[in-house]
Amino acid sequence: MKEFEVTDLGEMHYFLGLQFIQRSDYICIHQSKYADEILKKFNMEKCKAVDTPLASNYRLTKDDGTPSAESLMYRSIIGSLLYLTASRPDIMFSASLLSRFMQSPSQTHFAATKRVLRYIKGTIDLGLKFEKKKSFVLMRYCNSDWAGSLYDFKSTSGYCFSLGSAVFSWNSKKQEVVAQSSAEAEYIAAATNHLIWLRKVFHDLGTKHIKVKFHAIRRAVKDEEVDIQHYGTTLQLANIFTKSLSKDQFMFLRYELGICSSNTKEVC
């Protein structure tokens, strides 16, 4: 309150669908109540749960030959899923992928959205756990699925940022241009501008001074603004934002993102 004009309303527990568990050594953010409301809204509260939001190596296209689905309900489900991604980066890729077909969804697309709801049914208590750390390093993971779209051959970019605990910023989106190679797709996905912007935010909040001058990836590396390291497929957190994965790989990356149960007795 010395820096900003604010009013202390006490410890926050609920805000705009987000729920908070605050302890001395961690804060857990989840949307269990909202997730439960979604399942009830679309009559999926008694559905059978599945382990992943999308089947492994699942691919979708616009014209799949199946009958059209009810577009109004489809868009409503997608909108609900996108809001749930505020605390559930594990469904970011599936929600982003399915949102591409909102104009003319098919029964195949609708079945895929129902699978995501079935995944939520079995993971309704999951949320992000931010642990208290003595020191932190800003980490960025980025990846791409080269020419992953079956109808326009554009790639999907995915990235996430963390400070040594749960991720606090993430995204999954189709690239605007068609990459000519996997290297070009990875280059576009690097999200260096976002990284530099975050470092500027930390500076504005009173952290270590960082000069923000360069935006091109090569220049940023040359000036040691960023340090690029290679992560193998099994350890690349951004994989969860670019493609559907096997159960074991998906659960491993979900844990690495800092997602765990919001149940007070079971919170990790």
Task: Tell me the domain boundaries of the chain.
Answer: 14-190+228-261
Rounded-to-integer distance, Cα 164 and Cα 222, Å:
25
Pairing, β 14-15 against β 18-22: antiparallel
**Contact indicator for 98, 81 with CB cutoff of 8 Å:** yes
Which pLDDT tens digit goes with each residue over 147-200? 556 566 577 888 888 887 888 888 888 766 554 444 444 444 455 566 666 666
Q: What are residue 27's DSSP bridge partners?
A: 22, 130
Task: Find the DSSP H helices in 90-191.
Answer: 92-99, 107-122, 182-188
pTM above 0.85, yes or no: no
Q: How far out from the chain centre does Cα 144 lie?
A: 14
What does the pLDDT look like over 160-172, one tens digit per residue?
A: 888 878 888 888 8
* C-beta separation of 122 from 49 below 8 A: yes
List, in sequence order, every residue forming a beta bridge with 171; answer none if it has no partner.
159
